[in-house]
Structure 1
Amino acid sequence: MSYRRCFKMKLNEGCAEEYKIRHNNLWDEMKDMIHKYGGENYSIFLDEETNFLYGYIELKDLELWSKSASTDICKKWWTYMADIMETNEDNSPISIDLKEMFYLK
């Protein structure tokens, strides 16, 4: 079974280009971790009027995916990104899950 997740995060003002650069150069270790923990078809979009980022990812296993946050590479990525987006105390991005309202396959 596959799960679809959508969420929003907040980018700091004036950081859109840097955010894009960092993600266009996503570390191989981060790509490997995302796939290892069941993530695929991962996209992030920016609303330029509000600086909200909207992420969409398909997951093979929700429990497995939840364990990805405790990996060293994920924590390292969070620290790397903390200067350009709103974060929690542990540097994880403040992320709000969005409620699915419609799906057409």
Structure 2
Amino acid sequence: MIKKAFKMKLFPGCEETYRQRHDQLWPEMVELLKTHGAKTYCIFFDSETSSLFGYLEIDNEEKWLQVAQTEINQKWWNYMADIMETNEDYSPVSVELTKMFNLE
């Protein structure tokens, strides 16, 4: 199992909209994530910095990287671009985090 962590940033005051959109995550997006190997996917919010912390467990890195190229994922990025920092292609500005400790 591959464990990944990353951080992203919401625009101030957008946390409720972010939560609502994820509470109503499109069924086709859920299927896409699962089909591409997401076993566990959690996102946490830091209200002091408006930062999001994502944690993901996947089976295969190469398969997971294909998610970004799908039409449904591109649509999701576009949908979320009004509430968070994004790159020119509307992908979230995301910084991978280095695992420093793991207790299992």
TM-score normalised to structure 1 length: 0.98
Aligned residues: 104
Cα distance between partner residues in 2 of 1:96 and 1:46: 15
Is 1:60 the counterpart of 2:62? The answer is: no
Amino acid across the alignment from 1:34: L
1:41 deviation in Å? 1.1
1:49 corresponds to which residue?
48
- Counterpart CA distance in 2 for 1:43 and 1:24 is 12
- TM-score when normalising by structure 2: 0.99
C-alpha deviation, 1:103, in angstroms? 0.2
**After TM superposition, what 4+ stretches of structure 1 lie above 4 angstroms from structure 2?**
none
For the aligned residues, what is the CA RMSD?
0.4
Distance in 2, matches of 1:101 and 1:7, equals: 13
Partner of 2:8: 9
Structure 2: segments with no counterpart, 5+ residues: none
Match of 2:79 in 1: 80
Gap runs ≥5 in structure 1:
none
Distance apart, 1:12 and its partner CA = 0.3
User: How big is the shift at 1:6?
Assistant: 0.3
The sequence identity of aligned pairs, in percent, is: 50
